[in-house]
Each structure stands twice: as structure tokens, then as C-alpha cells.
């Protein structure tokens, strides 16, 4: 009985639907209206979908920001997190900071490159221009090319290294750049087979021994071996570091044969003006100290602004011409080990004096 009624109603409903469709088909105006309503409905649904997606995206941004603002214990702002292989002694990790080329290489002995696939490096430290990863039988090398001179500091926690790339100015109070003149294929003056580049390097290496004992000053050396460094890179280092002092060590020479011309002079940058010329003040401290220690003739401080590294220096610069290679007696002094040690100590003390005077 009930089944019959349902069938009956279903049939009526079917007929009504058919009649409705025929009606719509026969009335183009109504058909257009239905079609427009349908389009509007679809548009509204699409809009709703978009809105939903927008909400999800907004939430994602919010979450990411929250993570950035409230770093968890695994992230330290401004650092990069690098995995350390299980069992690796962190003291065996080697750092090679080639500050002349703005390249820091960290060597992880016995580490496979795949560790970075499982535990990728994360973080967003400043100053990174480029990153290189390579490995060989000995281990993994990670190389950071930076936009300026940096000093790395690291912390270790839970099988991770947290690396910070610091601008030296942010971690060192006193910064000095010392430049051993010439080098490599550029010998400087050559007298009796003695090359200026070798003597300046010997003296600078002796200065380094003294500064290595003194943690109050951070000293950068443009070279510590027999290599030719472009002038731009030498003065560029001092400028990049915003060094307190920039000293270049040279030997003088005059004429083609041994002669009587002798004495100590130091050049400064006259372009920095007459009043409060820090370059001249620094040059005078160095020159006076050398003259007094070596007993050489005082040729004073002279304008050296025609010399590239002096002219381009944006920091107090002095280029000292210790004595004359072309003078037999002075050449003997310059190559004497005890005198070289005296020169080194005198320069070291002059730099400390200048820094103490507020350079
Ligand atoms: Zn020279």
C-alpha cells in the first residue's frame, strides 16, 4: 500500500520536473536567468574556496613569524646550524679563515656529505654571499663566501654547531692592519741580492710574535709568506675592517750604487688635511720611535698621498721606510737579526702607544 503511494508521488514528481524543463526550454529568458543564477552560485563557491585558502595561508605566515620571533632552543637568531656527525670530536674541526679573499672554510674530518641531506643546514646569518659544500676521503668541507671580512664564533649543542659570522668591529676593540711591503714576483728593491720583500716579511713576522702574546689588539696581516698581494687588497683589508691603524713596512733606496744617503722616514696621507690629520700623527709616532731606537737620521714624516695604498686608505695610515738599502751600513743593520728584533719591538710599542693615545 505505502509502496504504491510512493511510486505514485514519484511519478507525479517526475512529470512535474519534465514539465518544468520543457517550460524552461521553451522560455529562453527564464533559461538565461537560471543559467546566471548557476554561474553566480559557482562564483560564490569559488570565492569561498579562495577565502578558505587565504585563511590557511594567513595562519601559515602567522606560525612562521611566531617561530622567528620566539626561537626555540634549536635556533639562535643570526646563526647557521650545522650538523656534527655522531662521535666527532669538535676540537678536530678545522677553521680556515682566508680574510683576504672573504672565504671561510670549515673542515669536518671523517664526515660524509650525506649528513647534510638528513640534517640540512638551517639559519639565516648575515654576510653570506655564497655557500659551497664538497667532500673527499678526509671529510666534509663547508665554505662560506662572505661580503666582508668576518670572524667566526661557534657554539656546540646536541650534535650541532651554531656558527655566527661576526664583523670584527663587533667583537674586537682594537684592530690593526700590518702590511709587509712587496712579495712574490714583486721583490721591491734588490741590493746585493738582498730583496726588500724578504726583509719586510722577516720584520713583520717578528712583529707578529709580539702581538700574538698580546690579546688586547687584533692584528690582521696582509701577508705572512712570500706572496704578491695586489695593492687594492692590501688597503682594502684596512678599509673593510675599519682598522684603527694601518701600517705598511718598507725599505728605502737611492741611486744605483751604494751611497751615503741614509735615515728613517714615514709617509702619511696629506689628503686628510692639515688639522687633526690622524695619518700624520700616527706616522710621527712610528717615525720618532724608530729614529730613537735605531739612532738613525730623522728624515721626518712626508706626504705620501701619491702612493696608492696611502691615498686609498680611509683609516689612519703610515708607510714607514725603515732605512736605506742603498747605504752599506744601513743595509747591514736591516739584515742583522738583533736589529730586526729591535725594529719589530719598536714598531709594536709605537702601535700600542698610538692605540693608548686614542687611535
Ligand atoms: Zn717598498
Instruction: Give me the residue spans of the domains in the chain.
Output: 2-69, 79-167, 172-356
- Ligand 1 centre from 174 Cα, in Å? 26
Cβ count within 10 A of residue 339: 18
Please state the pTM of the whole predicted model: 0.77
Q: What percent of the chain has pLDDT over 90?
A: 75
Would the pLDDT of 77 be above 80? no
> End-to-end CA distance of the chain, in Å?
111
Cell of 258: 751604494
User: What's the average model confidence in pLDDT over 180-199?
Assistant: 97
Q: Can you tell me the mean pLDDT for 302-316? A: 97
Which of 68 and 224 is assigned the larger pLDDT? 224
Count CA atoms closer than 13 A to 76's CA, side-chain side.
15
Report CA torsion sign: 54, 56, 58, 61. Answer: negative
- Please give the distance, rounded to the nearest whole angstrom, from the Cα atom of residue 331 to the centre of ligand 1: 14
User: How far does the centroid of ligand 1 lie from the alpha carbon of residue 357, in Å?
Assistant: 28
Residues 6 or more apart whose CB falls under 8 angstroms from that of 233 comprise: 100, 222
Find the 147 Cα to ligand 1 centroid distance in Å. 30
Q: How far is the CA of 250 from the centre of ligand 1 (A)?
A: 4
- Centre of ligand 1 from the C-alpha of residue 252, in Å: 7
Long-range contacts of 92-97 (CB under 8 A, 24+ apart): 93/161, 95/152, 97/150, 97/151, 97/152
Report the alpha-carbon distance of residue 151 to residue 55 in Å, rounded.
43
CB 27 within 8 A of CB 21: no
Say which range, 80-89, 122-131, 186-195, has the weakest mean pLDDT: 122-131
Residue 29's pLDDT is what? 64
Does pLDDT of 113 surpass 60?
Answer: yes
Task: List Cβ<8 Å contacts ≥24 apart for 5-14.
Answer: none
Q: How many A from CA of 70 to the centre of ligand 1?
A: 55
pLDDT for position 72: 46
Q: Which of 15-24, 75-84, 160-169, 216-225 has the lowest mean pLDDT?
A: 15-24
In the DSSP assignment, the letter for residue 150 is: -
Domain 172-356 homologous superfamily, CATH? Zn-dependent exopeptidases (3.40.630.40)
Gap from CA of 199 to ligand 1 centroid (Å): 10
DSSP string, 44-94: HHHHHHHHHHHHHHHHHHHHHHHHHHS--TT--TTEEEEE--TT--GGG-E
The CA 188 to ligand 1 mean position distance, Å, reads: 5
Q: Quick check: 64 pLDDT over 80? A: no
Q: What per-residue confidence (pLDDT) applies to 8?
A: 61
The Å distance, Cα 286 to ligand 1 centre, comes to: 17
The band of 212, judged by pLDDT with boundaries at 50, 70 and 90, is very high
Angle at which helix 337-356 crosses helix 328-335, to 10 degrees, equals 80
Non-local CB neighbours of 105 within 8 Å, separated by 6+ positions: 95, 96, 98, 141, 142, 143, 144
For 124-182, write each residue's pLDDT tens digit: 778 999 999 999 999 999 999 999 999 999 999 989 999 999 999 999 999 999 999 99
Report residue 229 as a C-alpha cell.
698581494
Residue 268, C-alpha cell as written in the block: 702619511
pLDDT of residue 53: 57
CA distance 332 to 330: 5
3-47, pLDDT tens digit by residue? 555 556 666 665 565 555 555 555 656 566 667 777 777 777 777
Ligand 1 centroid distance, CA of 134 (Å): 40
Question: Given a cut of 60, is residue 70 above it in pLDDT?
Answer: no
Classified as helix, coil or strand, 14 is helix
Alpha helices in 70-186 (DSSP H): 115-118, 168-171
Which is nearest to 294 in space by CA: 248, 253, 345, 258? Answer: 345
Q: How far apart are CA 208 and CA 313, in angstroms?
A: 22
Q: Is the pLDDT at 105 greater than 50, yes or no?
A: yes
Q: Give 278 Cα–ligand 1 centroid separation in angstroms.
A: 22
Report d(CA 175, CA 241) in Å as an integer: 8
pLDDT of residue 5: 56
Amino acid at each position: 500500500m505505502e509502496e504504491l503511494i510512493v511510486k505514485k508521488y514519484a511519478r507525479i514528481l517526475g512529470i512535474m520536473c519534465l514539465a518544468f524543463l520543457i517550460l524552461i526550454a521553451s522560455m529562453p529568458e527564464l533559461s538565461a536567468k537560471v543559467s546566471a543564477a548557476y554561474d553566480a552560485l559557482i562564483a560564490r563557491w569559488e570565492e569561498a574556496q579562495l577565502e578558505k585558502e587565504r585563511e590557511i595561508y594567513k595562519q601559515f605566515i602567522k606560525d612562521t613569524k611566531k617561530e622567528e620571533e620566539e626561537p626555540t632552543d634549536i635556533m639562535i637568531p643570526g646563526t647557521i646550524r650545522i650538523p656534527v656527525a655522531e662521535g666527532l670530536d669538535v676540537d678536530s674541526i678545522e677553521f680556515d679563515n682566508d680574510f683576504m679573499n672573504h672565504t671561510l672554510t670549515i673542515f669536518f674530518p671523517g664526515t660524509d656529505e650525506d649528513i647534510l641531506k638528513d640534517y640540512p643546514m638551517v639559519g639565516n646569518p648575515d654576510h653570506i654571499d655564497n655557500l659551497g659544500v664538497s667532500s673527499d676521503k678526509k671529510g666534509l668541507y663547508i665554505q662560506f663566501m662572505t661580503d666582508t671580512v668576518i670572524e667566526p664564533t661557534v657554539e656546540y649543542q646536541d650534535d650541532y654547531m651554531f656558527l655566527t659570522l661576526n664583523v670584527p668591529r663587533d667583537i674586537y676593540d682594537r684592530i690593526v692592519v700590518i702590511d709587509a711591503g712587496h712579495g712574490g714576483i714583486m721583490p721591491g728593491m734588490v741590493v746585493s741580492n738582498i730583496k726588500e720583500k724578504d726583509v719586510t716579511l722577516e720584520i713583520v713576522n717578528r712583529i707578529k710574535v709580539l702581538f700574538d702574546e698580546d690579546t688586547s689588539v687584533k692584528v690582521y696581516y696582509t701577508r705572512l709568506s712570500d706572496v704578491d698581494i695586489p695593492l687594492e687588497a692590501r688597503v682594502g683589508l684596512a678599509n673593510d675592517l675599519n682598522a684603527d691603524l694601518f701600517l705598511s713596512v718598507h725599505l728605502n733606496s737611492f741611486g744605483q750604487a751604494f751611497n751615503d744617503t741614509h735615515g728613517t722616514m714615514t709617509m702619511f696621507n696629506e689628503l686628510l688635511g692639515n688639522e687633526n690629520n690622524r695619518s700624520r700623527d700616527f706616522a710621527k709616532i712610528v717615525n720618532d720611535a724608530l729614529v730613537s731606537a735605531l739612532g738613525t737620521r730623522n728624515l721626518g714624516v712626508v706626504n705620501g698621498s701619491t702612493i696608492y695604498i696611502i691615498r686609498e686608505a680611509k683609516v689612519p695610515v703610515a708607510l714607514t721606510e725603515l732605512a736605506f738599502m742603498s747605504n752599506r751600513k744601513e743595509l747591514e743593520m736591516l739584515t742583522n737579526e738583533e736589529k730586526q728584533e729591535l725594529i719589530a719591538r719598536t714598531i709594536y710599542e709605537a702601535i700600542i702607544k698610538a692605540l693608548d693615545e686614542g687611535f
